[in-house]
């Protein structure tokens, strides 16, 4: 790719040189204000031991953004779960004369949910698989009193199985990008690099995340968020999957008082609709525990698969 195509001004050859030729840089996955993400292969570890890791290599060229990077690294270092991307390596390197922070995490084969949604609604069985896996990921990070804070379609990677057309091809989902994640208890925060004064001013007074997916309490700027906030955001995403569009057309105000999945044009099982209604409650205490949600979604999906095998019915999509 020509050098001028890299908006972030990261050139693959420069990155490879900066990392001691231990990485082979592939295609650019994303670029933004903080830096860029490349698909890469790690051929050896820092100590020279041979490796063969497919990674998503995130490069941060704006040192002022380190207050966002360090919590993500700390979160990933302490988490190991099949529905969360694994941290491979992180550190600093000199890319073409610029001190650069890099984070290499497990590359998830598949596509982001946001890309899948461009083709329209998902089957109920696929939505259940996403709900099962992402709620399990939420439960895992919450066991460490960590809140993801930015659950949205682009932060959910789908692994496709090429399964039966009526049951859908989405087999499993992986929650990625803990860059907005926050620890609930201050004891954990103390292990992170302290923010300087400019960073504190920059992060104060506004929630980090994505409008349209904030829980009501997250939008209010509540500091002591719980897993219930992530459960709400997942509920918005799952309803979006069933509808094929954002339930409020990205209007955050419209979901401030909670929204309902039932009673509308969402054709789905009663069990799923009831679960979504609870997830989307305006009150955090009314939302289900994520571990229980994961088990519930798995149970509904297994029942659906058994019914389909018997010829009872096929997974449903919403009707216009």
Q: Are residues 81 and 165 in the same domain?
A: no
Give the least confident one: 18-22, 62-66, 119-123: 62-66
**Beta 87-95 vs 23-31: how paired, if at all?**
unpaired
pLDDT band at residue 42, thresholds of 50, 70 and 90?
A: very high
Residue 89: the pLDDT is 93
Residue 3, in any domain of the structure: no
In the predicted model, is pLDDT for residue 149 greater than 80? yes
Q: What per-residue confidence (pLDDT) applies to 224?
A: 87
- Report the percentage of the chain scoring pLDDT > 90: 57
For residues 83 and 72, the answer to whether their CB atoms sit within 8 Å is no
Boundary of a domain, candidates 106, 137, 159: 106
41, 96: one domain: yes
Q: What is the CA radius of gyration of the chain?
A: 20
One domain for residues 99 and 130: no
Among the candidates 48, 81, 106, a domain finishes at 106
Give the residue numbers spanning the domain of 285: 111-309
CATH of residue 119's domain is 1.10.510.10
How many folded domains does the chain comprise?
A: 2
Does residue 318 lie within any of the structural domains? no
Computed over every residue of the chain, the mean pLDDT equals 83
Q: For residue 208, give Cα distances in angstroms to 149, 151, 237, 251.
A: 7, 11, 18, 17
pLDDT at 316 over 60: no
194 and 212 Cβ atoms separated by less than 8 Å: no
Top-ranked range on mean pLDDT: pick from 25-34, 49-58, 67-76, 155-164? 49-58
Query: What is the CATH classification number for the domain harbouring 21?
Result: 3.30.200.20
210 falls within a domain: yes
Range among 2-6, 7-11, 61-65, 301-305 rated most confident? 301-305
- Kindly report the pTM of this predicted structure: 0.83
In 143-282, alpha helices (H): 186-189, 197-203, 216-219, 227-243, 270-279
Would you state the pLDDT for residue 24?
97
Same domain for 211 and 92, yes or no, is no
The phi, psi pair for 175, rounded to 5°, reads -85, 130
Compute the distance between CA of residue 191 and CA of residue 203 in angstroms, rounded to an integer. Answer: 18
Q: Point out the domain boundary residue: 106, 132, 157.
A: 106
Least-confidence region, from 21-25, 69-73, 103-107, 126-130: 69-73
**Model confidence at 36: pLDDT above 80:** yes
Residue 14 lies inside a defined structural domain of this protein:
yes
pLDDT at residue 215 tops 80: yes
Assign 252 a pLDDT band (cuts: 50, 70, 90): very high
Q: What is the pLDDT of residue 197?
A: 40
Query: What pLDDT was estimated at residue 195?
Result: 34
């Amino acid at each position: 790719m020509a050098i001028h195509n890299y908006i972030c001004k990261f050139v693959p050859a420069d990155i490879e040189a900066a990392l001691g030729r231990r990485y082979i840089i592939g295609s650019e996955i994303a670029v933004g204000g903080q830096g860029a993400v490349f698909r890469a292969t790690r051929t050896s570890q820092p100590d020279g031991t041979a490796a063969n890791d497919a990674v998503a290599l995130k490069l941060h060229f704006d040192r002022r953004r380190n207050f966002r990077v360090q919590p993500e690294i700390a979160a990933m270092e302490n988490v190991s779960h099949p529905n969360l991307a694994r941290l491979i390596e992180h550190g600093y390197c000199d890319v073409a004369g610029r001190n650069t922070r890099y984070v290499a995490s497990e590359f998830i084969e598949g596509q982001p949910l946001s890309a899948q949604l461009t083709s329209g609604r998902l089957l109920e069985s696929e939505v259940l698989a996403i709900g099962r896996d992402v709620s399990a990921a939420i439960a895992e990070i919450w066991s460490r009193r960590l809140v993801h804070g930015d659950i949205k379609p682009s932060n959910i990677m789908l692994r496709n199985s090429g399964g039966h057309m009526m049951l859908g091809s989405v087999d499993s989902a992986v929650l990625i990008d803990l860059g907005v994640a926050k620890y609930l208890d201050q004891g954990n925060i103390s292990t992170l690099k302290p923010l300087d004064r400019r960073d504190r001013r920059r992060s104060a007074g506004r929630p980090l995340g994505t409008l349209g997916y904030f829980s009501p309490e997250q939008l209010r700027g509540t500091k002591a968020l719980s897993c219930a906030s992530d459960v709400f955001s997942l509920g918005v995403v799952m309803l979006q999957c069933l509808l094929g569009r954002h339930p409020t057309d990205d209007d955050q105000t419209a979901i401030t008082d909670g929204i309902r999945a039932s009673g509308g044009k969402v054709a789905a099982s009663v069990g799923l609709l009831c679960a979504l209604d609870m997830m989307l409650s305006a009150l955090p205490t009314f939302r289900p525990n994520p571990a229980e949600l994961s088990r519930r979604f798995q149970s509904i999906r297994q029942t659906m698969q058994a019914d389909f095998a018997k010829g009872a019915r096929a997974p449903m999509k919403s009707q216009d």
